[in-house]
Amino acid sequence: MIKAWREKAVRVSFLAALLFFMNPMTVYATGGGIGGSKLATGTQQLIQDSTTFLMVIAPIVAGLLIIYFCIRRSAADEMDQKKWNNRIAVAVVSCVGAVLGSATLNVIIGYYQ
């Protein structure tokens, strides 16, 4: 009974999403409406400023963490050195991900200006 209900819910959700995305009506947020409001422009500026801040602060924090992890790795035994190496790799990957994510958001926001 639950399985049949799930299948029906999935079908209805799919049809609703299909109808929503296939709707030919276009809505523009320009002029004196939402696009020109202080809320829209303020939110846009907030996202742009926060992503710029993230692009600056992420490498600094990652660098400090990597220095800390290297110090801890030098004082660890062989088993713990593997864990500290993994933590260093995670810090590097997280830094790259944060910078790329914030740069992508900055590029997307740039198209709306």
- Neighbouring C-beta atoms of residue 69, cutoff 10 Å: 19
What is d(CA 106, CA 113) in angstroms, rounded to the nearest whole number?
Answer: 11
pTM, 2 dp: 0.61
Residue 49 has pLDDT above 70, yes or no: yes
Could you state, in order of their start, the residue ranges of all structural domains in the chain? 30-111
Instruction: Name the more confident of 63 and 18.
Output: 63
- For 52-98, the pLDDT digits (tens) are 898 899 999 999 999 999 999 999 998 899 999 999 999 999 999 99
Place of tokens 């500026």: 45
Burial 85-106 (b: 16+ CB within 10 A, else e): eebbeebeeebeebbeebeebb
Report d(CA 11, CA 30) in Å as an integer.
Answer: 35
Per-residue confidence at 105, pLDDT binned at 50, 70, 90?
A: confident
Which of 27-31, 38-42, 71-75 bottoms out in mean pLDDT, i.e. has the lowest?
27-31
